[in-house]
Each structure stands twice: as C-alpha cells, then as structure tokens.
Structure 1
C-alpha cells in the first residue's frame, strides 16, 4: 500500500502575536531580574509565554500517516482521513466523520469572510485551500483503501478516533500556576 502524504496547514491566527508574547515575557523577566527579581513576576511572565504558545502557536491542522490530525491547546485528536465526509472552514475548521463533528480553532475565516462564504467568492483564499486539500486527502485515502464514499465502511472508520493529551504542556501550566499562587501568597 502506498504511503499517505503528510501535509500541515499553517494556523490562520497571528503567529506574530505569539512571538510578540515571548518577546514581552522575556523582556519582563530580564527587567525584573535586573531590578531585584520578584519571583511572582517571573512566574507570571513564564505562564503568560506558555499560554501564548499553547493558545496561538500550538493549534494546527494536518494530514499525517493517513490521519487527519488536530492539535488543540492541550490535546491532539487523530482520525482516519478516509473517514472524513465534509470539511468547512468558517470561524473554526470543522470536519465531519461518522456523523460526528471535529473542530479546531487553528484554521478559520474572519467574521466577514465567514458571512460572505455563502457567495463562494471567486477569489481563492487560504481557508478554501485547506478545505480542498483535506477533502482531496480524504478521497485519495478512500481510493487507496478501496472504500466507497458515503459507505458503511467509511462510517466504520470514524470509530477509530484517538485523543492524546499534551501532558508536558499540562504539567508545565500546572506547575507555573502553583508557582504563581505560592509566590503571590508569600
């Protein structure tokens, strides 16, 4: 069987804000350490940078190893791309498989773009590209597996959804929240 392609789609959120959050956090830490070093300020700046990463930079959508992969803030969902029936991008990325909807905030349209979506603007944009590519990967995966679209076989694939938790990011967030509370209380 042929190897399934890997394709990742950049988030439509502003990665500039994520990078700016890191720079601001680093600047706050440096200024605080130069000015005396209050651990509460350091903990708050580190927590701010971590939350910026998990909220802005970590979420993304991709196709990898025959799966549609949705990275969320603190978890990752994987479902067989061949099970995907529909894909729409409005305010969020939405894929349906087996009658269930899977949502990711990584790829979205602006409010104005979501409202105009009904017109099917002839000018192609990134959200249209993502919709088309994921649907292409789904059709290709079904063809490779010999599974007809809208069949019981396709719906059965939708039962193979896996969620894994991003334990390092959860643990880091917990540690920084506890550190912030302890340093503020002391």
Structure 2
C-alpha cells in the first residue's frame, strides 16, 4: 500500500469508509426514484420526491464528502458542511488516529473524514512505525493512515524550512450542500403539509 509520490502537484484525497456505503445509498435512492417514474401508479406523494432528493444530498454530505485532501501548499480537512484549509507552514503537530487532528499554535482542527481504528493504531505501533516516520522496511506493513500521517509530518517539516510565509488558516462553508439541505427540508415540509 503506497501513497502518491511527494513531487506531484495533483491534490491527494483520503477518506476512510463511506465511499461504498455512499455509492450504495445513492444507488438505492436512484432505484426508488426510477421505480416511481416507471410505475406511475406507485402513488408517490409530491413530498416524497423532495424527501428522496433530501436523502440523496444527506448521503453525499455524510458519507461521500468528508475527507482529508493534501494540496501543494496546504491540507484541507473536509467535514460535513465546511472545510478547514491549513497551510503546512502553520502546522505544529499532526495526529491521524480515529480522526485527523491538526495542531496550529495551541488550536486544534479536526477532520472526521479520515482516520484509523484503534486496532490499526496498535498494529502500526507493534511494527515499530513511530508517528511521523516512514522507514522503508515498514512502509509495506504500515496502514494508509500511518503513511498519510508521515506524509503530513514531512510536508510540515519541509514548510518550516521554506522561506515563504504561510498564509492564514481559513474555513470555507459548503454552501451548495447547505442550501440544498435547507431548500429540500422546507419543500418537503411544505408539500407534506399541503398534501
């Protein structure tokens, strides 16, 4: 198991779980919607169509969106409805445990989209893989979480030696998802009350 090489400028996306469940959830929503289209006598109420769309958006937000994305100069902790963008030069510590935690001058930023189980953390410790280190003989045995943590630590240390000033930590909201949830909740409730 390997991660992308260090010199590549393409963003690297890592998430634990959820991808298969999310795809199955969206497929289920699509199957129910197709049944309603193919069988007009199925009797779907107007509010049910809005509810189906709401379920699809929630599946995307909860299961597919969360991740840790490594960009060229910063790491993105993509959570359900917002993302934290942390420049590597601002990092003072990195932990990839059950969740990814980035430490920045006493502040802690948490990303729920990528992590390791306790058993995986114990196994990584048992093979002698210290946090932030990636010895060649351990690389094939270490978990993906350990390898990503080691990559984050290397980028953090590399940014500390760079002469450029790191930008600020910033938070961005997932406005399309927020708007879709708000609109679909209102539409579902209004159509259900009017039915």
Q: TM-score, normalised by structure 2?
A: 0.79
Judged with a 3 Å threshold, the aligned counterparts in structure 2 of structure 1 residues 146 and 177 are, in CA distance, closer, same or farther, namely: closer
Q: Which residue, 7, 20, 24 being the options, matches 2:24?
A: 20
Judged with a 3 Å threshold, the aligned counterparts in structure 2 of structure 1 residues 179 and 22 are, in CA distance, closer, same or farther, namely: same
Deviation at residue 53 of structure 1 after TM alignment: 0.6
Q: Secondary structure at the match of 2:92?
A: strand
Judged with a 3 Å threshold, the aligned counterparts in structure 2 of structure 1 residues 4 and 83 are, in CA distance, closer, same or farther, namely: farther
Alignment of 1:63-82 (within 5 A): 63-82=70-89
Q: Which runs of 5+ in 2 are unaligned?
A: 1-6, 128-140
Which residue pairs with 1:30 in the alignment? 34
Judged with a 3 Å threshold, the aligned counterparts in structure 2 of structure 1 residues 7 and 36 are, in CA distance, closer, same or farther, namely: same
Q: Does 1:10 align with 2:14?
A: yes
Q: TM-score, normalised by structure 1?
A: 0.83
The alignment yields a C-alpha RMSD, in angstroms, of 2.2
The answer on whether the counterparts of 2:11 and 2:72 sit within 8 Å (CA) in structure 1 is: no
Matched residues in 1 for 2:120 and 2:147: separation?
A: 14
Q: Which runs of 5+ in 1 are unaligned?
A: 148-156
Q: Does 1:96 align with 2:114?
A: no
Which residue pairs with 1:172 in the alignment? 180
Q: Does 1:112 align with 2:107?
A: no
Q: How many aligned positions are there?
A: 172
Which residue pairs with 1:125 in the alignment? 143
Q: Secondary structure at the match of 2:77?
A: strand
Matched residues in 1 for 2:92 and 2:65: separation?
A: 25
Matched residues in 1 for 2:157 and 2:113: separation?
A: 22
Deviations 1:130-153, CA, capped at 9 Å, x for gaps: 100111111122222278xxxxxx
